[in-house]
Structure 1
Amino acid sequence: MRYKIVIDSCGELVEKWKDSPAVERASLTLTVDDEDIIDDDTFDQAYFLKRVAESPNCPKSSCPSPERYMSAYDCEAEHVYAVTLSSELSGSYNSAVLGMNLLKETHPDKKIHVFNSHSASVGQTLIALKIEECEEQGMEFEEVIKKVDAYISEQNTYFVLETLETLRKNGRLSNLKAFVATALKIKPVMGSTPEGTIVQLDQARGMNKAVMKMVDYVVERTPNPAEKVLGISHCNCPARAQAVKEAILERIPVKDVVLLDTAGVSSMYANDGGIIIAM
């Protein structure tokens, strides 16, 4: 096997990866009250969203251990890559780097690289697809790293939330602000910085208007869109995701579209009805 991609479970897997030896998921653990839920193939989104809605507490996540990453790296592949959610949002990146250093103690010549996505969810998916594309073209290890780093630096991530409850529960939004925003049906349009932190870009009254504002940002901030893949993840709202896809494609051409349902960690961030776009 020439290469292997290890992607933490905040990144959604495209269908072809689910049975592929070249792609492995490193699962995070989600905790709602006293219940631990592993973000793997057994994850039940409907059950998780129900538990989150019923709980007065904010759900939490814990990243894969360095030993978990080390075991994923310990394989016959010549080139091994890890793609983690933004180091500003999780300890997954640091854990992946520690796992690499642990393996290199006994396998110093093993070629391993950990990519900090500076993103999450489908943004990670697109990065893994870029690694796959470069490897399938026969690029050398160092050239793949260079190409993918450049891709990450140009990628933008956006999202709109149906509910602000998770932001309220984890203290990022005061109870009063959350109440006023909910009463007025104000929906924030969020995005990521180049460093991988989350910022509010805009807001609108009503989900449909907020989603269309997000589409505006995608269209206006994407140079050479015909050369790029549009990634969309949705949390339990396929019709909304399809509408977003069509709204973008009406205005700009793209190379390809990846449309996925959110996995566990992404479902925790986006919550029921949320939409995430990366491009």
Structure 2
Amino acid sequence: MTYRLIGDSCTDLDDNLKKDENISIVPLTLEIGDYSVIDDDKFDQKDFIRRMARSKAGAKSACPSPEAFKEAMECDVDMVFVVTLSEHLSGSYQSAEIGKKLFEEEHDHKDILVLSSKSASAGQYRLMLELDKLCKQGLGFAEISKRITKLRDEMKTYFVIETLDTLRKNGRLSAVTAFIASALNIKPIMGATDGVIIKKDQQRGMQKALAKMVEIAVEEAGDNANDKTVCITHINNPERGEYVAKLFRESDKFKDIKIVNGAGVATMYAGDGGIVIAVG
């Protein structure tokens, strides 16, 4: 069966997936004060990081329009799978659902699944990897939908960011809390439950925080970790991404480990040097 895989632009991809003609990305728009940029293949990560650091205003995103998702669905294929940011982080999922309804009002029946990743970044990458594999195996729409939803529900997401300044600028963290964490070099280790961000632990210093994050991920992966893939998104710091991958390799528990650099939305959320991982 023919297929199309669609992600919003928080779906970080490796080079092979970027070249795949069956995959398309619907970009969000990123804003810092009066400045705005489309999160597409022309996105300049280093420039955006510099602008975030200089700005007193917090960076924010605008989700794609329903019409943009509808346009991406207008292709001559049998089935379409859409992966979006968690609905708790963005309106992208709701926009994609409306886009699906608009498409169905104007076109004959097509099998379309719109899936909130309940995650972001590396989590969306993990789901896209699996969808690519399942579609190439020639499975039907119902079976793929069942398997990818199960993976989504069982997948774990974690992240550690270099600075809490972005969260402070966005009003998600008090200035006092951010100052204390910065002064003490405290790095929170965050996770997600059903797409909602939660704090898992904290450590003093980035190296300790990353090591603790991997320790938590290995423990929570359980006895069937050898069936799971680890996806790592780094933000402008390949050495740090490789360090985290090395820690996972040393556990000798996982089927595969993938590393990618984050695109614009991940850069906005995780900031320069941030690390996001998904295990599933």
User: Any idea what SS the aligned residue of 2:19 has?
Assistant: coil
Are 2:118 and 1:128 equivalent residues in the alignment? Answer: no
5+ residue gaps, structure 1:
none
CA distance in 2, matches of 1:238, 1:20: 23
* Post-superposition offset of 1:108: 4.2
TM-score (norm 2): 0.97
17-26 or 212-221: bigger deviation: 17-26
Corresponding residue of 2:208:
209
Q: Deviations over 1:145-202 (max 9, x none)?
A: 0000000011000000110101111111110111111001111000011x20101111
User: Any idea what SS the aligned residue of 2:251 has?
Assistant: coil
Kept in 2, the 8 Å contact 1:219–1:252? The answer is no
Counterparts of 1:1-279 in structure 2 under 5 Å?
2-193=2-193, 195-223=194-222, 224-279=224-279
Q: CA RMSD in A?
A: 1.0
Q: Deviations over 1:234-256 (max 9, x none)?
A: 01111111111111111132221
104-113 or 62-71: bigger deviation: 104-113
Kept in 2, the 8 Å contact 1:45–1:263? The answer is yes
CA distance in 2, matches of 1:210, 1:17: 30
User: Any idea what SS the aligned residue of 1:171 has?
Assistant: coil
CA distance in 1, matches of 2:238, 2:31: 26
CA distance in 1, matches of 2:114, 2:176: 40
5+ residue gaps, structure 2:
none
CA distance in 2, matches of 1:46, 1:273: 11
Kept in 2, the 8 Å contact 1:225–1:252? The answer is no
CA distance in 1, matches of 2:19, 2:185: 42
CA distance in 2, matches of 1:108, 1:217: 47
1:144 aligned partner, one-letter code: I
Identity of aligned residues (%): 46
